[in-house]
Amino acid sequence: MGSDTIAVVGAGNIGGTLARKWAAAGHRVVLGARDPSSPAATALAGELGPQSTTASVGQAVDVAPIVLFAIPGASMAATVGALGGGLAGKVVVDATNNMGAESTDSIAAITAAAPSALPYRAFNTLGWENFADPVIGGERADLFFCGPDGPGRAQVEALIAEVGLGPMWIGDHDKLAIVDTLTSLWFALASGRGFGRHTALRVLTEG
């Protein structure tokens, strides 16, 4: 899959870490930023290699069939609303967490802005440290996600595997609450129990 163009909107710890992994896997990564010429955005693009670049958020979305959002969750509704049809027909990955809101995810906002988009909830249940280093104690961690079955699911599974995590599809959007509860579980273990941010989960089954 490593020839796809991916728009990564948000160049913080999560977006930056995933961008590095996907660029290393052979993808062209376009960093969507409010200020594409900012030192942080241009420095990250320089790390990713000559095939990657920075652009405005709208320009990045326009050229990519896959879009990852890793921005503050509170700004998602306005961001995807402004993009509107630019997300139509694209695989859209919501890695944001709108903590304290009625809904932690932004799947409904994405669907309202672009009804034909294929939105997936992924990369929101773990700290970025687990994307940078997905192996703990010699075991590969799993990443739980949800969204529609079909080709989009296969693309998201490939993206997760390229980060080094085990893709664990739970189901369609009716499983959003389960995925988001895992975010709360991660915080309870990493912070509440003091296990630290390099903490993750893995499914064990005989099936």
Residue 98 lies in a domain: yes
Residue 105 CA to residue 163 CA, distance in Å, equals 22
- Amino acid (1-letter code) at residue 131: F
pLDDT digits (tens, 9 = 90+) for 164-180: 999 999 999 999 999 99
Residue numbers of the domain that contains 49: 5-192
Residue 204 lies in a domain: no
Residue 205 lies in a domain: no
- Residue range 1-7: mean pLDDT, rounded: 78
Residue 156 lies in a domain: yes
Residue 207 lies in a domain: no
Residue 114 lies in a domain: yes
Helix (H, G, I), strand (E, B) or coil at 165: coil
Helix (H, G, I), strand (E, B) or coil at 46: helix
- Residue range 30-55: mean pLDDT, rounded: 90
Residue 124 CA to residue 66 CA, distance in Å, equals 17
Residue 27 CA to residue 21 CA, distance in Å, equals 9
- Looking at the structure of the chain, the number of domains it has is 1
Closest CA to 202 of 113, 151, 152, 140: 140
pLDDT digits (tens, 9 = 90+) for 92-151: 999 999 988 889 999 999 999 999 999 999 999 999 999 999 999 999 999 999 999 999
Torsion of CA 23, 26, 30, 31, to 10 degrees: -10
Task: Tell me the average pLDDT of the chain.
Answer: 94
Place of tokens 């579980």: 185
* Reported pTM: 0.95
| pLDDT number for residue 164 | 98
- Residue range 56-77: mean pLDDT, rounded: 96
Residue 199 lies in a domain: no
Residue 119 CA to residue 107 CA, distance in Å, equals 6
Is 200 within 8 Å of 134 (Cβ atoms)? yes
| pLDDT number for residue 49 | 87
Residue 202 lies in a domain: no
Q: pLDDT category, 184, cuts 50, 70, 90?
A: very high
Strands annotated E in 95-177: 118-121, 135-136, 139-140, 142-146, 166-171
CATH of the domain at 145: 3.40.50.720
Residue 140 CA to residue 144 CA, distance in Å, equals 13
Is 119 within 8 Å of 107 (Cβ atoms)? yes
